[in-house]
Structure 1
């Protein structure tokens, strides 16, 4: 029987253990803490913690001090033992196994000497002892019951030791203390498992959103995966910087997770963007590419020219010349239909000239060769989107912000809307949707801005362009620094720490990876 002072000390330790358990966030460390605390509390030489899953008790932590054995938990060493079934193959309860029996009956089993115990099969224990020159004697097996009285596992301690290090049986005080600890442990494990399951559910919803965007448009789906990856590459490089303006920037694991979630959700508003706008590969594309309609009109013009020739209204030379002109005009319109970086003034003038051709519809109506909408689209100077379509695309970031700001974020994720919603802002305040300046933006939001731009420049799965080579993309990025579009300090880290190359090696085609003149880029960006 322990003295009052010893019992008081044990109770104080039990209370301290309970406080420590409630603060542990890693479930493997939590399970290890539970077993170590239980062993220490009653001076047990060995112990095992089991978790119950699908009517089987799985070994999570195994420790035997005298043999120097420590498996599972944070050790990184898996427990090479099969789970203990609660029921035999014929469906009968496995009550001859002491751990299974404790869980099946929901009671503590205290055995003074396993070799003399009746009703339980300790043959495996005897084999272990013989192989390791060990003597397993006293056993204390306690089911882990949570606050709902559900059994979630078991805690088994082996060989209580007295003050001289000799094996003794577990007494009533030992059993009471371990049962109290087991109750606290079960609640802590249940809470941690619940938190992890909710986090898994939360992350699954995020993946579901990205899958929805991916299914809606395979072009943006890859973007939703690559931007978070590049964001974290740049964030880690910036956090590792020990000099310069970013030397004080640090990210702990919680802050990294927050930024990663923001990266995954940065384009969630695209679920509302019409797919024919997102996937607009050519200027004339709506639900289909309207260049086919124009090709048909040229066939009508060629038919009319043929009729005029047959009627003698058009000479042979004029007929041949007209057909050649139509063929050249069609080739020109096909080129116009493919979005480029810039459309020349002379090309615009020719486009308007062709638009003035007349043709007769199947209904016999004489109309301009190109409708106003077709002309407006073909006259787009850069890319494939009209101003109104660009506004529709840009609206996705407003929807993203609205969606994210409507959610009740926990404290450790409260910056997700700001990080995710700022990747289209500019350092000079000329970005959108809020016109924020560099000083009004967090470093994390600025990181996402660089990641979003570089991914878009090098992406090879866009319907309207080919992925740029590294040298071309980095040159554009350097110009964007000089134009106060993206952050200069972060770009210097991006450049000097070769974040661009690490990303390229994982996500770009081999032919996209070419030589990059870093010093020339620094000068172009105004960093030299």
Structure 2
């Protein structure tokens, strides 16, 4: 439509100009026609430039308006890099971030890069120079002739840099926090002043994104720290399950990544896994810490922890994208055949994330050494039980297949070795209420194997006593909660 309007305006204005010129130069039609054609050509190029500029900037602002639709930072930066290359008609674009502590630049996005990441000292190469000085660098001649250019990346990738436009990313406090670099303009004229202005516009947007991402990251880090502390407090209430929540989280997240779930789904699952047992805070100690199997009545009380989990987590103001955390966390005991709890959901009624969480929770419970109601199962036996539950219609076969074939159960390798030497370690005697003595007592081991740690002590430890152990190995220390399963008095002591 714009082109049609421009065409008729062009013809009409041309006729008017020609008539005026003819009247002024009525004895020279040829001269009038020549002047008319010159003016016509000038008008054509002027308005063509204006229209092209309008179309170009319309495309620029169209790209910028799309930035708000991206919630994942890495995806957003990839979109920006690709858009810059397309708008500026260049071969590649890279977005560098500044790490002031290490005095380096590193690429959060390096379009079509054959190596995973570029790391440059600030001051090295064109991008490093821009990060150091804050100057805009535009090179349309052979960049290899510029003393600021470093060919190291070209040598690593096989790419040949010819022309460069590099602009600093500056935050509101005038700090240089990154660099956007565009390589190899595809036309022969090289990068223009307009290209420079457009790249500055994108740098301003990237600065806002980085600042918002850093602020969001700090808030998210605080949230994760609080959630992990919350889960650790719940785990500590029942020493037999210490570390269970974090192990379940690792299993579940690994499954989700293998299933190619998006970053928001993975984060929801991570939080739900960390917090899936917080409802146990509402279970009486007489049941939660009971040695041996529950009575039917006690089991019914224990099952309420899933609903309590949802009630507690629903009171936390999660970000909107993580609003499903309370529901997913509360459904980790639901089975595909409807025999689970708390709601007896069936099949697709159970969200995928809850089905993943259920598998992770069951597997960790099966292999755990510290459950009072059962012995630990080997990996092979635990996997066998998972497949038996698939055959019974309780677990999602696709999830189990991924978990087993990709060996996602190997987040921690418990090597079955025996240490036939004395190793120093410390322990604290714990009561059922998890009260600890003030100072650890040093002792010596007799041997360590898959069956446990055997040691000699001057104190008596009745079977079932929980103790906190620190094991001092040559290069590292192991801290854990242990339960005494066997105790005997040595003659003469």
TM-score range, shorter chain: 0.5 to 0.7
1:419 matches 2:440: no
Across the two proteins, how many residue pairs are aligned to each other? Answer: 366
Query: Which residue number in structure 2 is paired with residue 54 of structure 1?
Result: 100
Structure 2: which 5+ residue stretches go unaligned? 1-45, 417-493
The SS at the match of 1:60 is strand
Paired residues for 1:2-151 under 5 Å = 3-44=49-90, 48-54=94-100, 56-60=103-107, 70-71=112-113, 77-79=116-118, 81-85=119-123, 99=127, 102-103=130-131, 106=134, 108-110=136-138, 122-125=147-150, 136=162, 139-146=164-171, 150-151=175-176
Q: 1:224 aligns with which of 245, 249, 274?
A: 245
Counterpart Cα distance in 1 of 2:269 and 2:91 = 44
From the superposition, tell whether residues 493 and 53 of structure 1 become closer, same or farther in structure 2 (CA, over 3 Å).
same
Q: Distance in 1 between matches of 2:59 and 2:126?
A: 28
The correspondence for 1:442, drawn from 342, 347, 350, is 350
- Indicate the residue corresponding to 2:280 in structure 1: 270
Higher relative contact order structure (alpha carbons within 8 Å, sequence separation ≥ 6)? 1
Using the TM superposition, give the Cα deviation of residue 122 of structure 1 relative to its aligned residue in structure 2, in angstroms.
1.9
Q: TM-score, normalised by structure 2?
A: 0.56
Larger helix share, 1 or 2: 1
CA distance in 1 between partners of 2:134 and 2:399 (Å): 62
What whole-Å deviation, never above 9, does each CA across 1:226-278 have from its counterpart, x for those lacking one? 444565688899x8xxxxxxxxxx96654454334322221123356677864
- Aligned residue in 2 for 1:356: none
| Cα shift at 1:13 | 2.0
Aligned equivalents of 2:371 and 2:188: distance in 1? 73
TM-score normalised over the length of structure 1 = 0.53
Q: Is the 8 A contact 1:49 1:62 kept in 2?
A: yes
Note if contact 2:356-2:399 (Cα within 8 Å) is conserved in structure 1: no
Sort the Cα spacing of 1:477 and 1:204 in 2 relative to 1 into closer, same or farther, 3 A.
same
**1:507 positional shift:** 6.8
Q: How far off is 1:401 after superposition?
A: 1.7
Shift in alpha-carbon separation, 1:397–1:182, aligned structure 2, 3 A: same
Contact 2:143/2:161, CA 8 A, preserved across alignment: no
1:261-310 deviation digits (Å, cap 9, x = unpaired):
322221123356677864444xxxxxxxxxxxxxxxxxxxxxxxxxxxxx
Measured in 2, the distance between the counterparts of 1:28 and 1:493 equals 32
TM-fit CA distance, 1:183: 1.6
- Shift in CA distance, 236/70, structure 1 to aligned 2, threshold 3 Å: closer
In the alignment, what sits opposite 1:359?
Answer: none
Partner of 1:462: 371
Change in 2 beyond 3 A, CA 1:400/1:148: farther
Is 1:491–2:395 an aligned residue pair? yes
Q: Distance in 2 between matches of 1:458 and 1:105?
A: 57
Instruction: Name the CA shift for 1:277/1:176 in 2 (closer, same or farther; >3 Å).
Output: same
Per-residue CA shift, 1:427-448, capped at 9, x if unaligned? Answer: 898876x554548952444664
